[in-house]
C-alpha cells in the first residue's frame, strides 16, 4: 500500500477518534446535566424553594404570580390576619413566559386550585430583560421539573439551548461533587414564609449607584407586543378554564424614570386593551417615601406591609 493510502487511513482514524471523543464528552455532559437540580433538597435559596415546594400550599384564597417585585411586596401575615390564605409565587426575571410555566406547574401540583389568581404587571414585564431561561433556570426547580429539551420545544427558545446545556452540565457536576463529599448532609430547610422574602434594607445613594448600571439599558428598551400578546392569550385561557384572574401593579420607586415616553405610551395602551377585554387591572396609586424601598424598584419589609394592607382593602372589594 502506498504512503498516501496509509496517510488517508490515519487521517480517517484520527477523525473517527476525535468524533468519538466529542460524542463521549457531550454524552457525559448530558448525563451530568440530569443532576443539575438535586441541590434543592438542601438548598437555602428561597428562589428555588419557593417554586419547588409551592405545591404544598393548596386551596388558597389568592395566588400571587410575578417577578421579584412580588416576592418582596406581598406580606402573607397581613392577609392571614384577615383570614385569607395566600402564596407568593414570585420569581426573578419573570415575564409572561415564566408566568405561564410556574402557574401551570403550581396548578398541576395542588389538589384544590386557588379561588383567585393575581398576576403582577409593570413596565419591565414586557421588556427584553424578563424570561431569561439561561440565567434563571426556573424550569429545573418546578414541582415537576422540565428538561432543557422539553423547554426549548415548548417555547421555541432554540438559541438558548447551548447555554442551558452547558449550565446544567456544570451545575450537575458541582452538585455530584457536593453530594459525594457530604456538603448537603446537614442543611435544614428554611421557613418558606409562604414565598415572601423579607428585606430590612433601606435604599440610599450607595444602593442606587450599585444597581443603576443594570437599569440603564432599559432606557433603550422597546415594548414587546409579542410578550403582551402572549400574556393576554394566557389570561384568556385561564378565564376560559373557569379561573378568577386579575392583574395588579406595585409601587416601583424610581423604575418608571428608566423607560422612554414611547415605551410608557405602549404600556399604557396595553393596560387599556386588558380592560377592554374584561380583565381588572388594579393600578399602583400608592406613593411611598424612599425609606420603604430596599433599592431602585423593590419594597422592603416596611413597604411590603403598607402595600399589602392597601392592596388587600382593594381586593376584598372587587
**pLDDT one-digit tens code per residue, 79-96:** 999 999 999 999 999 999
Q: Domain of 126: which CATH number?
A: 3.40.50.1110
Asked whether residue 69 is assigned to any structural domain, the reply reads yes
Asked whether residue 259 is assigned to any structural domain, the reply reads yes
Q: Assign 187 a pLDDT band (cuts: 50, 70, 90).
A: low
Residues with Cβ < 8 Å from 226, sequence gap 6 or more? none
Please check whether residue 198 is in contact with residue 167, taking contact to mean a CB–CB distance below 8 angstroms: no
Residue 6 confidence (pLDDT):
55
Asked whether residue 29 is assigned to any structural domain, the reply reads no
Q: Residue 181: pLDDT above 90? A: no
Domain encompassing residue 267: 46-132+189-315
What whole-number distance in Å separates Cα of residue 239 and Cα of residue 103? 14
For 27-49, the pLDDT digits (tens) are: 888 888 888 998 887 788 899 99
Residues with Cβ < 8 Å from 196, sequence gap 6 or more? 71, 72, 74, 75, 76, 88, 304
Asked whether residue 106 is assigned to any structural domain, the reply reads yes
Compute the Cα dihedral for 220, 167, 139, 63 and give only its sign: negative
Asked whether residue 118 is assigned to any structural domain, the reply reads yes
User: Rounded mean pLDDT of 260-279?
Assistant: 97
Total domains in the chain come to: 1
- For residue 190, what are the CA distances in angstroms to 43, 45, 49, 122, 201? 9, 9, 9, 30, 20
Of 19, 27, 51, 207, give the one whose Cα is nearest residue 139: 51
Residue 222 confidence (pLDDT):
97
Asked whether residue 245 is assigned to any structural domain, the reply reads yes
Asked whether residue 121 is assigned to any structural domain, the reply reads yes
Asked whether residue 247 is assigned to any structural domain, the reply reads yes
What whole-number distance in Å separates Cα of residue 207 and Cα of residue 298? 12
Report CA Rg, the chain: 23
Strand partners, 244: 116
Amino acid at each position: 500500500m502506498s504512503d498516501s493510502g496509509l496517510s488517508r487511513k490515519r487521517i480517517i482514524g484520527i477523525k473517527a477518534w476525535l468524533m468519538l471523543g466529542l460524542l463521549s464528552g457531550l454524552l457525559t455532559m448530558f448525563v451530568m446535566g440530569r443532576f443539575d437540580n438535586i441541590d434543592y433538597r438542601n438548598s437555602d435559596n428561597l428562589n428555588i424553594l419557593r417554586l419547588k415546594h409551592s405545591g404544598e400550599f393548596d386551596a388558597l384564597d389568592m395566588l400571587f404570580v410575578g417577578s421579584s417585585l412580588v416576592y418582596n411586596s406581598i406580606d402573607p401575615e397581613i392577609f392571614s390576619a384577615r383570614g385569607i390564605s395566600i402564596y407568593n409565587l414570585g420569581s426573578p426575571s419573570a415575564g409572561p413566559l415564566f408566568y405561564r410555566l410556574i402557574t401551570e406547574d403550581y396548578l398541576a401540583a395542588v389538589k384544590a386550585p386557588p379561588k383567585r389568581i393575581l398576576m403582577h404587571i409593570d413596565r419591565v414585564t414586557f421588556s427584553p430583560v424578563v424570561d431569561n431561561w439561561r440565567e434563571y433556570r426556573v424550569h429545573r426547580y418546578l414541582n415537576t421539573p422540565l428538561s432543557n429539551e422539553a423547554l426549548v420545544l415548548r417555547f421555541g427558545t432554540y438559541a438558548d439551548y447551548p447555554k442551558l446545556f452547558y449550565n446544567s452540565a456544570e451545575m450537575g457536576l458541582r452538585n455530584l461533587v457536593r453530594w459525594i463529599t457530604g456538603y448537603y448532609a446537614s442543611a435544614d430547610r428554611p421557613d418558606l414564609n409562604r414565598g415572601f422574602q423579607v428585606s430590612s434594607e433601606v435604599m440610599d445613594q450607595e444602593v442606587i449607584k450599585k444597581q443603576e448600571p443594570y437599569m440603564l439599558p432599559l432606557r433603550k428598551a422597546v415594548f414587546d407586543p409579542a410578550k403582551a400578546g402572549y400574556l393576554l392569550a394566557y389570561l384568556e385561557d385561564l378565564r376560559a378554564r373557569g379561573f378568577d384572574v386579575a392583574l395588579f401593579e406595585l409601587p416601583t420607586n424610581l423604575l418608571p424614570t428608566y423607560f422612554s415616553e414611547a415605551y410608557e405610551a405602549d404600556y399604557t395602551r396595553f393596560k387599556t386593551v386588558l380592560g377592554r377585554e374584561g380583565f381588572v387591572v388594579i393600578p399602583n396609586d400608592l406613593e411611598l417615601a424612599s425609606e420603604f424601598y430596599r433599592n431602585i424598584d423593590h419594597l422592603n419589609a416596611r413597604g411590603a406591609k403598607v402595600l399589602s394592607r392597601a392592596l388587600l382593602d382593594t381586593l376584598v372589594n372587587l
